[in-house]
A and B are shown apart, each in its own frame.
Chain A
Amino acid sequence: MDNIKEEPDLEEPAQQASRRAHRSDPTENLKAMAVPELALAPSTTAPATAKIEIAGLSKVFATRTGPFTALDTISLDIAGGSFCTIVGPSGCGKTTLLRILAGLENPSAGRATIAADNPSKPLNAMVFQGDSIFPWMTVWNNAAYGLRMRGAPKAQIRDVVGHYLDRTGLLPFADRYPHQLSGGMKQRVSIARAFATDPEVLLMDEPFSALDEQNRTLLQEELLKIWDVDKKTVVCITHSVDEAVTMGDRIVVMTAHPGRIKSIVEVPFPRPREVLALRREPAYGALVYRIWGDLRDEVDRARRQEAAIEA
């Protein structure tokens, strides 16, 4: 994408960290105070500057066959401006974790807080998995959705939406409806919609899983370019180890059900990253191999669990 423009410095003054409890859990937050800080949780570096603080977070769903623990005392700090990817076998609760951060689910215990540097910004915006842009709105109106819901002034909507549609190469398609777009373009609209609200934290739920390999690689590259400009804090779930290593600063590997953190791997590659160039580096292969090693046991366990349920 050649149409990336330098944009005015959007970096917030650091350390202003007026911590705001997550919208969804005003009461959970009080409950959390009673929960002792858990030492059991896997190693987490916990600098005071963490943008996202997840402490002793559990989620239990009531099901017909009894309670189902999706997340089991997860503790994790994510530094501001970092790109954190989460991988894990399917059913490990990673989507639940993201939905709690997004305010779409409430935690059963513990808390997840996002530090708000600027109270006028939304805490988070999510790039959803699969088709999530409204088929009844044009590309432009979809990208403007978050800003409109927040009652942003018209002029601001025009500038910001124009800017992100330009950056994602969608400006020529602003008046199209989603049924006239390819899968890759739809997902770019979803990305533009999330970026346009300028959230404190960007959440991504397997953003490219519905795309073919070629489109996925292109979109990863485009996303990295957009992200490099203002380095938002990102939490991105993926089932692709390649994607996790390509995009992330840190990779959180989760266990099979119940979801716990198995390991946290730092990704040493410098930015900006060229996706294809990166992938031919031996160090890249070694890192992918290592994470696969962590993941394989869990995938096997998840399979055995599934087989046990089937039986």
Chain B
Amino acid sequence: MTLSPAARDRLIGLASPVFLLLAWEGFGQLGWIDQRFFPAPSRIAMSFARLSSSGELWTNLAASLMRLFWGYLLGGIPALLLGLAMGLYRPVRALIEPLVAATYPIPKSAILPLILLIFGLGEASKVAMVALGVFYPMIINTTAGVLEIEKIYLDVGKNFGAGRGQTFRTIALPGAAPLIMAGMKLGAGLGLILIAIAEMIGAQSGIGYMIWNAWQLMSVDTMFVGLIVIAILGFAFNWALDEVERWLLPWKARG
């Protein structure tokens, strides 16, 4: 059977977690690893089924997804617009770049207390954490994406009479799109990390809350269900964004 390289990559991508799970199960059954700390996948699966049929999992998942969605939009869209403006206009860059450079290295988890202070314990603080996580990779990548556009393309636009809006739409946005997509993927990952952290403190719902709560109850299976759900979300986001990229950027040659 011959596979296209893309199909082969996808198969390999599926094979590695499957292999890990099988090994884990085997070692668990053999008693080589302590089931109290590392319950075998079959036990985790059972708890997954229990949490899923009780609806607990879905309530928490929905809460997290909602926060991720709003955080992604509220962090991503301003970052995209600011990034494009920073890439196209030097004064905007000079104004904003130092601020970004200075605040970017601050660990976002370290800002959580401040965020809680500002936004309170409700939804807003969770959304704000995700937005923060998405904002930085998006703004940095978008700016870099616009700056990386070959100058000759701007000359072409000018020579063929493209106005400001047309230059933006036909050159800046598509030219920066590959790096914007990379920023979106990084942002999705950081958003997941931060939502889990944010939900562990002062939340009453969400996957992060579920994990934290399970730890307090020493319900290790549930904890693993939470971790696995986050892993699956990360994988799903990445896959979805890959598909979006394939559809949006058919012109990128993929090796």
- Comparing B47-55, B180-188, B247-255, the segment that makes contact with chain A is B247-255
Is the pair A103, B158 in contact by a Cβ cutoff of 8 Å? yes
B71 → chain A, closest Cβ, in Å? 29
How many contacts between A and B, using CB within 8 angstroms? 62
What is the predominant secondary structure among interface residues of chain B facing chain A? Answer: helix
Beyond A128-B152, A177-B251, A179-B253, whether A134 also contacts B159 by CB under 8 A is: no
Is the pair B153, A134 in contact by a Cβ cutoff of 8 Å? yes
The yes or no answer to B9 lying at the interface (CB within 8 A) is: no
Q: Which of B161, B163, B174, B250 makes the CB contact (< 8 A) with A134? A: B174
Beyond A128-B152, A132-B153, whether A104 also contacts B159 by CB under 8 A is: yes
Which residues of chain A from 160 to 183 have any CB-CB distance to chain B below 8 Å in the complex? 177-180
The yes or no answer to A17 lying at the interface (CB within 8 A) is: no
Is the pair B170, A145 in contact by a Cβ cutoff of 8 Å? yes
Is the pair A149, B166 in contact by a Cβ cutoff of 8 Å? yes
- Cα distance A136–B157 when bound, in Å? 14
Q: Which of A125, A131, A135, A137 makes the CB contact (< 8 A) with B159? A: A125
* B interface size (C-beta, 8 A): 23
Which residues of chain A from 16 to 50 have any CB-CB distance to chain B below 8 Å in the complex? none
A121 → chain B, closest Cβ, in Å? 11
- Chain B residues contacting A304 (CB-CB under 8 Å) are none
B125 → chain A, closest Cβ, in Å? 39
A131 → chain B, closest Cβ, in Å? 7
The yes or no answer to A197 lying at the interface (CB within 8 A) is: yes
Chain B 151-170 near chain A by CB (<8 Å), digits 1 or 0: 01101111111110010001
Q: Which of B159, B175, B253 makes the CB contact (< 8 A) with A102? A: B159
Which residues of chain A from 171 to 201 have any CB-CB distance to chain B below 8 Å in the complex? 177-180, 193, 197
Q: Which of B158, B162, B166 makes the CB contact (< 8 A) with A104? A: B158
Instruction: Give the A-binding residues of B (Cβ under 8 A).
Output: 150, 152-153, 155-163, 166, 170-171, 174-175, 177, 249-253
Instruction: Give the B-binding residues of A (Cβ under 8 A).
Output: 102-104, 122, 124-126, 128, 130-132, 134-137, 145-146, 149-150, 177-180, 193, 197
- Chain A to chain B: the 5 pairs with minimum beta-carbon distance, closest first: A136-B174, A146-B160, A177-B251, A179-B253, A149-B161
